[in-house]
Amino acid sequence: MNKAIKCNSINLKIYVEDTDFQGVVYHANYIKFFERARSEFLALNNISQSKLRKNNLAFVIKSINIKYIAAAELGDEIVVNSVVEKKSDARMIFNQKVVNSKTGIEYVSGDVEVCFINLLTKKPQKFPDDLLLIFK
C-alpha cells in the first residue's frame, strides 16, 4: 500500500467574490480552494512550480471527482483538509475536503488525480526527487 500523507490545512474566509448572486459559494470555487491547498503542499515541501515550468515540467489534473454536500456562505470561515497518496512516480491522488472551521460542517469532498508531465512531450515524467523523498 502506498503511503498517505496528511497535508497542512489551509484556512480561508468566504468573500463576495467567492459567491454567486444567492450569497453561496459558486461551485467552481471549491476546485480553486482545492488547488490552493495542493499548491501550499508543494510550496511547503520546497517544490517550486515556477522553476519546474522553466524546465518544461508541470503538474496537471488528470481527473476530479467532487461531491457537493452543503453550501458555504458569505462570511463563513473554512478549512481545506488534504491527504495525498502517491500512486506511481508520476501520479498522486489528493483526497480533499472543505469544512466550516467553527461548526465542522462538511461542504465538499473530492479526489483529485494529479500527474507530472513534460510540457513539450506531454508525457508523464518522474516526480522531482524532493517530492519522491516525502513519500518514503
DSSP H helical ranges for the chain: 27-44, 49-54, 129-134
Report d(CA 66, CA 47) in Å as an integer. Answer: 26
Cell numbers 510540457 label which residue?
119
Q: Which of 132, 116, 113 is nearest to 124 (CA)?
A: 116
Asked about 20 being catalytic, the answer comes back as yes
Catalytic residue, chosen from 20, 76, 89, 129, is 20
What are the C-alpha distances in Å from 132 to residues 3, 14, 20, 94? Answer: 11, 34, 40, 15
- And the C-alpha cell for 117? 508531465
First-last CA distance in the chain: 12
Q: Residues with catalytic annotation?
A: 20
